[in-house]
Amino acid sequence: MARLTIGAPSLGKEGANKRALVVFGSAAFPLSVEIINKMTITLSMPEAGGTFRPLATRIATFKNFDRLQRAVSSFEQVAKLNNARTLVEIVTQDDESAPDDKQSDGAGGDSDSGDGSPVVKILQDNEEAFVVELQSVSFEPLRSQVREDGTLTAGGLKAFEEAKAAAESEGQGG
């Protein structure tokens, strides 16, 4: 499995295109990859095959490395504009010996609703509390923020982002 994480680069860090060459340069094309949107916004990226729903995974196929590189460059520009530490991950499972740009942050294990939307796991649903889990983050959204199929509304995604940020700040502070 090869993995490339694209986000706003730090000072002195090489760009995503150079890392894409290392990770996918020797791959056989056409190449099918999973693109995981790590943001709570919809990304529209024609270079990568269309629209990517918030926190969802979608399959994209690239005819050659140049097309993949064009998509990587566009994703990196969007990450810079939004100051996003992690915008997307591009993952292939074709070759077990392929290089891995960055370790997974646990997002890959979530199921989806069939259209690429992540589905929350309900931990508690009674009169006392409504607690759900997504990407190993437990939080308490309003019941109206979780659809019947288990996907989150925009308000639910915002509640998830807030809980995720709080969990990350607790992890760094303590």
pLDDT (tens digit per residue) in 77-89: 999 898 888 899 9
Average pLDDT of the residues in 19-33: 89
- For residue 114, the model assigns a pLDDT of 52
Q: What pLDDT does residue 102 have?
A: 44
**Range in 21-25, 35-39, 92-96 with the lowest mean pLDDT:** 92-96
Distance of CA 147 to the CA centre of its chain: 21
Question: Which comes out higher in pLDDT, residue 149 or 59?
Answer: 59
The rounded percent of the chain whose pLDDT value lies above 90 is 16
More confident position, 111 or 149:
149
Instruction: Tell me how far apart the alpha carbons of residues 82 and 75 are, in angstroms, rounded to a whole number.
Output: 11
The pLDDT score that the predictor gives to residue 10 is 60
Which residue type does 7 have?
G
pLDDT at 105: 35
92-146 pLDDT tens trace: 865 444 444 443 333 334 455 555 567 788 888 777 778 888 888 888 888 888 8
Q: Please give the Cα distance from 79 to 3 (Å, whole number).
A: 17
pLDDT at residue 128, rounded to an integer: 73
- Please report the pLDDT score of residue 155 as a whole number: 84
**Closest residue by Cα to residue 160 from 41, 73, 75:** 41
Q: Is 70 helix (H, G, I), strand (E, B) or coil?
A: helix
pLDDT at site 107: 35
pLDDT at residue 90, rounded to an integer? 93
Average pLDDT, the chain: 80
What is the model's pTM? 0.57
